[in-house]
Amino acid sequence: MTQPSVIHDTFSIERTYPASPARVFGAFASEQAKNAWGDTGDLGAADGDAAQAEFDFRIGGRERFGVRYQGTTYRYDARYYDIVADQRIIYSYEMYAGDSRISVSVATIEFAKTGAGTVLRWTEQGAYLDGIDGPEASQLRKGGTSEMLDGLQKYLESQAAG
């Protein structure tokens, strides 16, 4: 059995997108758009989790899904706490590996108008539990978030071209 412990860490990522705050914010507010740019790729849906997937983008709403990766089912369970259209989103989420909660995080996404479009600032504060995620968990989470934001860039470019 793993010894109970917690590792706290915070990371921030800032990106500039050549799109209005309304378009960038809209990519988070629409289930179809978010699935297009935040796709889990080759991970695939976890058995039985497709029916439990949920996207309810409103204050108090939830976003949930599961994926299977290298034989382990990972679940994401988020609740939205603050949404100001075109300006910010604040939510918390839990991550599970199998039946074990591996982390609890608070994420703040801010959208600011700039001459070139929108500056997006993502700040995430995480509590990584019981050594399951390991000491590198925050860097892995930051890397995954950065990859998602790369997908957002491609999505916004494809929407502008289409």
pTM assigned to the model: 0.88
- Give the distance, in angstroms, between the CA of residue 84 and the centroid of all CA atoms in the same chain: 17
For position 40, what pLDDT does the model report?
44
* Confidence check: pLDDT of 119 > 60: yes
CATH of domain 6-161: 3.30.530.20
Q: Which of 44-48, 93-97, 157-161 has the weakest average pLDDT? A: 44-48
